[in-house]
Structure 1
């Protein structure tokens, strides 16, 4: 089994609504959340209805509000799906930034929706029926049959009737005569070939002691499988941690026992606050860790077959709590983004999942994370792995990047970016409202590797032997853990800059303007631009070209439309063959 492809996983999407208090200032700081209400939703839908005629759309077209979360600097964000005859069109979305009164300030469309809105002729057409020929149960049965898995359901399967846009890739006119190897990401575009009435089937199962999570698109006409992707998106007492020495961990004291519940971070959820549980080699979360004293762990790798509750067994829980606390604090102190969903809903991490399990993942069934003890790896609770897994939760609550194709690679890259930022923040002391320039190692999973060889190199993804360093026209067919590579390299260049040494790991042949080595803007600014784009501009269908455009927008809004930060974004994407390179201003 290819452990690398499984590692660093998350599951599915979530959409929650609670209230967030105001917090730290600075670029990218999130705003207090406004709880969703029928009145607010009705007012927003009225604004959208008023725009419909201007777009040349009739009463067949509509909108459905699917999520709300905090925005930046006094704004709120609403995510809206486009509907046709009251059925959602998959991937056709808008991200709306609203002022405190709910008025639309800006709109970021998925490319497909924007094209759909320009001409109704591009739509399904008035004769497109939304009456399915098969039932939702038949669709679920078809999805299960296609998986062929002998497994039990962790949660009941579900099926949503949707309109599925079957896509094809075509070149833009200026690139028709280019050789395949010369293509840039902006030379091609995804267009709708035709529409299918279908069901989106969610199956969340466990086979033996392993999770088996899939999303399947099933034709509502005849039950044929149109598409399918794996949703295993592969992570103050005193704690003796395995990777960070002795660390302070927050616990609670009740009835003379210390419990690994941090009641200063998060509210609600399963345990009322952030918590660490003991899966004890099972597939369910188990119970919260309890101890007679407030000193936990022995700082050593778990001994397979040993107790999960003695000092050695507690070390995995210490790793998890330290990672959870620092990930929460990074996003709270830098962005005022609370917990995974921005609304401060508590999550938890289950340690010792399965037996000698070489994986870590986020699950949409519990909105929580699971950490394995490792077999080929050491315990998977390193700080960058936990930052990665919690990053999946943030993406699920916001852009919800579809975990397939280019959007799936961006989903994985977003979690890698989060892991590196959290690692730098934690190693820099875990305080303040900025991410330090140093502290992270720009590789993923080095600590959990028994050989010391990382899983991924952000500065040169191809060092793993499978990930490309730059975009190419076949990248959408790669496993998402590999197609994430170019965006990881983009982010490294954006933060750290590149090198003009052609023989080194930090050189890009696509940087052809002046200077040959682009200038980075630092991890803090790069992280802010990425976080703003992912939470307020990306849609579920965002690809590399769209990510570039929306990163440029985010940089312009944060730092100015002629800023060095915006130019750095352009150059960083040019460095991975997405868009053209530009000159840096003198003195930059």
Structure 2
């Protein structure tokens, strides 16, 4: 039997064996072929309600368990059997398969009644070649390039009714609408390769008619971040004893995946995961920053692995114990983290190819990047990929990054309070700054409460937000979440003040990080679609709050006020 053990002395130890603790967890929902067929049939029967003709269809992309026996299905919209990019439904069903709610990312209606040809003139191989030529040169692939034929909606921004004559600097997020201008048959090409030590991950939209590059965005979902019990002192970690050797495989968390359970591997200065960490004893690490050029397997080299496993355990436990969500996908599928990636590498990133994380040792600017908030951030990308799959560009990309920052803060709060319990602590033990621990000069990567302190991130929504790098367009939503959890200040000039809060009290009241994260997670996992922008996020976060706490609850009002504080929607009185 495996269990976590409270430690004394300078050991990072857990008594470990072969038995799994999976029996203590809620069993993932099994989705039968009949249930999937029934759901698609139900959606097909309701096409006319949405103004759709018989050429429109549905294809289930993913499913995961919901609360109290419910199930959540991500369903792609199709036309003549081809997926419509960023057009989808999130469907919540009960145990009998009845539809309880449907959140729609609507980008399909303009196809009804049209003679849209879905036969490509360009092959998928040619599309991959066009995409590969358009990205920086690489020296080896992590996974083979992949091209999917899609119908790509070409979008444009228009003013909402009543906002036609507003000055640009007077616009609120709800004053601008994203609408479909036209459609293109295209390939969605994913390239995941390396240029030496650097990941070169791109998504490219290539016209299936003439090979033009219609859109492209960088998919390296990274943050330059933290390190060891180097950062958390002596901590308990779950390992496995096999054949007299201890391995960094946590058999109590996750199943399947590359190593059968959650695991930590040694990249040993390479770019692949490498082998699972093993040791003759169950005492790991020395709690110190990795010494450049030294062994990656001695006590000093093991510290990076301890950082990673402690972060992974807390990320898993927080989501499971607080929200009932198991691993990244909700179905308890195991993931892994590779440490000692490249040499003196000032980065950490999540890879959608392996659904795993890579952590550098740090170099010029950072120490080891395995801090609690950074690991929570990167694993948050995995959760978003399994749920809303927010497209990593524009406003949806900013929300994707923000969702990971929010997850990082929630994991940090949970870990700082001891890593146990079924709620996030109040007051929380987090600092509301991303990556402060790993920074060699003590400056964090991002300030949740005042994003503009980094000199690049805005504090509030503006019409140019979608043109920023996603690590900066995340700023306003980060501030929204801080206000939602912790409240704001009415003092002009305070870092916690918002000029957009005009109702009383001018200092909005926060609802605590526990309630705030529950609301955010529900919205991301059951309502957001890949195209969700700031205005849409406000509506869906509000809907999540109303479902959890009531239509006129203090929590629902706080959501409206927190979004109003970043220039998204109107303020309301408490």
- Normalization by structure 2: what TM-score? 0.94
Instruction: Go from structure 1 to structure 2 and tell me whether the alpha carbon gap of 1:413 and 1:149 turns closer, same or farther (over 3 Å shift).
Output: same
Query: Is 2:86 aligned against 1:97?
Result: no
Query: Is 2:247 aligned against 1:259?
Result: yes
> Mapping of 1:5-20 within 5 angstroms?
none
SS at match of 1:538: coil
Q: Following the alignment from structure 2 to structure 1, what is the Cα–Cα distance between the partners of residues 415 and 51?
A: 51
2:316 aligns with 328
> Mapping of 1:443-454 within 5 angstroms?
443-454=433-444
Q: Following the alignment from structure 2 to structure 1, what is the Cα–Cα distance between the partners of residues 421 and 477?
A: 27
1:85 aligns with 80
2:519 pairs, out of 508, 529, 533, with: 529
2:154 aligns with 166
Query: Is 2:179 aligned against 1:191?
Result: yes
1:287 aligns with 275
Runs of 4+ that moved beyond 6 A: none
> Mapping of 1:365-514 within 5 angstroms?
365-375=353-363, 376-437=365-426, 438-514=428-504
SS at match of 1:88: strand
Q: Following the alignment from structure 2 to structure 1, what is the Cα–Cα distance between the partners of residues 53 and 334?
A: 42
SS at match of 1:200: strand
2:547 aligns with 557
Deviations along 1:175-224, whole A, 9 cap, x unmatched? 11111000000000000111000000011111112211111000000000
Contact 1:77 1:96 in 2 (8 A): yes
CA drift at 1:22: 8.4
**Larger displacement relative to structure 2 (205-214 or 397-406):** 205-214
CA drift at 1:227: 0.2
SS at match of 1:163: strand
Unaligned runs of 5+ in 1: 1-19, 24-30, 117-121
Q: Following the alignment from structure 1 to structure 2, what is the Cα–Cα distance between the partners of residues 569 and 57?
A: 34
2:70 aligns with 75
**Larger displacement relative to structure 2 (104-113 or 552-561):** 104-113
Contact 2:341 2:360 in 1 (8 A): yes
2:4 aligns with none
Query: Is 2:130 aligned against 1:142?
Result: yes
Higher relative contact order (CA 8 A, sep 6+): 1
Contact 2:159 2:175 in 1 (8 A): yes
SS at match of 1:248: coil
SS at match of 2:221: coil
2:118 aligns with 130
2:342 pairs, out of 341, 354, 360, with: 354
2:51 pairs, out of 33, 52, 56, with: 56
SS at match of 2:551: coil
Instruction: Go from structure 1 to structure 2 and tell me whether the alpha carbon gap of 1:359 and 1:135 turns closer, same or farther (over 3 Å shift).
Output: same
Contact 2:138 2:193 in 1 (8 A): no
Contact 1:124 1:195 in 2 (8 A): no
CA drift at 1:57: 2.0
Instruction: Go from structure 1 to structure 2 and tell me whether the alpha carbon gap of 1:457 and 1:148 turns closer, same or farther (over 3 Å shift).
Output: closer
CA drift at 1:367: 1.2
**Larger displacement relative to structure 2 (509-518 or 354-363):** 354-363
CA RMSD of aligned residues (A): 1.4
Q: Following the alignment from structure 2 to structure 1, what is the Cα–Cα distance between the partners of residues 406 and 136?
A: 35
Q: Following the alignment from structure 1 to structure 2, what is the Cα–Cα distance between the partners of residues 150 and 515?
A: 55
Instruction: Go from structure 1 to structure 2 and tell me whether the alpha carbon gap of 1:268 and 1:579 turns closer, same or farther (over 3 Å shift).
Output: same
Q: Following the alignment from structure 2 to structure 1, what is the Cα–Cα distance between the partners of residues 561 and 435?
A: 28
SS at match of 2:456: coil
Q: Following the alignment from structure 2 to structure 1, what is the Cα–Cα distance between the partners of residues 385 and 24?
A: 23
Q: Following the alignment from structure 1 to structure 2, what is the Cα–Cα distance between the partners of residues 32 and 564?
A: 34
CA drift at 1:32: 5.2
CA drift at 1:560: 0.3
Contact 1:256 1:292 in 2 (8 A): yes
2:14 aligns with none
Contact 2:221 2:378 in 1 (8 A): no
Q: Following the alignment from structure 2 to structure 1, what is the Cα–Cα distance between the partners of residues 89 and 140?
A: 36
CA drift at 1:420: 0.3
Unaligned runs of 5+ in 2: 1-21
Contact 1:361 1:389 in 2 (8 A): yes
CA drift at 1:269: 1.1
Deviations along 1:215-259, whole A, 9 cap, x unmatched? 100000000000001110125xxx982000111111111222111
CA drift at 1:293: 1.3
Instruction: Go from structure 1 to structure 2 and tell me whether the alpha carbon gap of 1:179 and 1:301 turns closer, same or farther (over 3 Å shift).
Output: same
2:300 pairs, out of 291, 308, 312, with: 312
1:571 aligns with 561
Q: Following the alignment from structure 1 to structure 2, what is the Cα–Cα distance between the partners of residues 293 and 209?
A: 32
**Larger displacement relative to structure 2 (83-92 or 143-152):** 143-152
Q: Following the alignment from structure 2 to structure 1, what is the Cα–Cα distance between the partners of residues 54 and 356?
A: 40
- Normalization by structure 1: what TM-score? 0.91
